[in-house]
Structure 1
Amino acid sequence: MDREKIVIIGSGLAGLALAEMFPDSILIEVKRQPGGLFSKDNCPVSGNIGSEMINKLLYGKKVEIETAAYRLDSEGVWVINRNGSKKINGKVILATGFRERTSVELGIYGYRPAGIFPFTAAWDLVNMGYLLGEKVVIYGYNHYSLSLASKLSKLCDKIYIVYSRESLVHSLDEALSLGVDLIQGRIKWVEGRDRISLVKTDSEEIKTDALIIAEFAPWNQLGAEFLAGNAGMILESPLKVVESSMLLAELLKTGGNMERIRGNVPVLPKFVSERFRKVMLGVGTGIRVTVGGHVIITEEPYQVVEIPPGKPIVEVA
């Protein structure tokens, strides 16, 4: 497997970590700058800072920027840039990151005024110096929303985070220390004729002039077989993003017949082989999980476990 050309779609933290493991790989990036979301992330997780890790991994890497992948087949991937379209043959790994969940998925109804931003758009605008609003509501509590809140706290009069699930790597106190108001619940309704003016949760109403959607889902827009980072599983820790990419790289280098992992627990990689059977679990600390018929209690977020032979099933116990 390591003799076959590796083509990595996405030059964020997961893609760069893979390129470190496959020095002869080709890195494709749709944006003008490589690095992804973590290139502007200065919010530490267990002492690790995403932007610092990006800078280290970017050193010496060649990235084909402003190049979009648009079709996969069994031999490789078709890409397009200002020079036209071409096909790159090789084993393709998708490392393009997550997508924001839609209003329909989240059960948000009402008006559709200006001032509602998907997280990635809000992230780019704030990092370019734009003010999104004076009273901002962020829907979702995770590493990415907390990192954005830390930037907005220097610009806005008031920040609210509405959440139904807590972060796997950050305590609620970390948001409170930024002066953020935390509201547990779900957003049900949005009002505003021209611009958003009111958000209704299942417990209260919040006057606001900006809403940022920070609830995420993995995104495999090309239907790739091999996924890295947030394209395969939502990962809040930059160190765990890198570690999960290393697991995938070891699986591909080791080779062997692949078995897809089944069950209701997110995992990376999505496969094991008879030669390499380690995966990372997408759950927090203290969760009872059945791994190949054996019950374990996780000791850390995104714990790495070994799948027993013949039982590639991972489920919440």
Structure 2
Amino acid sequence: MKNNFVSEKTIGDSISLEILTSSIKLPPLPINGAKLLKMAQQPIDKIDVASFAKLVEVDPGLFASVLQLANSPYYSGVEKIISLRSAIARIGLQETINSICLYFFQKTLPQFTDIEGFSSKEHWAYSWACATANRRLGHPNLEMSILPGELYIAGLLHGMGKLLIAIHHPNKFSECIKKAGDLKLPLYKIEQDVFGTTDAFVASKIMEAWHLPANICAAVAFYQMPESAPDQYRDIAGLTQLAYYITAASKIGTSGDGDLIDLSSLYIFQQSNLQISKKEIREKLIQEILQSLEKKSESMSGVSSTPQSQPEMGDAYENEISAKASSLAPKTNKKGLFTRIRSLFS
């Protein structure tokens, strides 16, 4: 197992170096981007609003994206928002930062030609949903001791390697997606056969080149196999894996996967000492996250929860998420279940 890991890491390094030095220029992380990411990782009460506003106001693209969100159907009020401060007041500082991170990486990373089963718009919608779900999993009430902002960045960038491989090896990557769908296998297993590494390893190497924190890089590198991560990074990788699965259930965007293992088999749910591994807690948590994603998806990502394709999932996973439809439907007695769900995040 160790030799396989070393071999995969070496190939991952090689492909990442090819991407970094190719004619399709992958830009270094801009100074403003580094500042933004540093803010995004911090607890919300530690972020200086004036410094954040100054960072946004000097970038017309970022500024416009915030105003667009503030005036979207989900957030719009009686009056049209035209100032950044008013936009932050309407959206909330946390959601403003989240939306700017999404916009920033959409504009920073190279564009690619859509291929069957994988498009830029669907990729970023899936990434937004994964980031949002991952942030929820970092709430202090769940006692995971991981900053929600770090989980958000890991969720947002977890699929960056797919995007980059799609640019540099479009034909091979297209074959991987098709084969994963035909054989009903996780995409990363096909990538290992074709490339000798995974998109997650490639993404983590690019993130290391950008000097992102080691725990965020490890979360991305190992989210497909958290048990293979160094001990200190297994929880953050495991939570990111769970967020990825919740996103698949939300049917927002697409990931290119052909199949996923049962939810009950995920690393984080095998850790009996964790609150989140308790069935009653995780069921309520997943339902709350799915409901939140459903409400915000179109305004935040431009994609509603109606993808062209989604991976098939095992029976245990289906049993866990079968309550989604009923949880989103109007109920005569919302107290009880939803009160308890909300209590996890209050």
Q: TM-score, normalised by structure 2?
A: 0.24
More strand by share: 1
Higher relative contact order, chain-length normalized (CA < 8 Å, sep 6+): 2
Q: TM-score, normalised by structure 1?
A: 0.26
More helix by share: 2
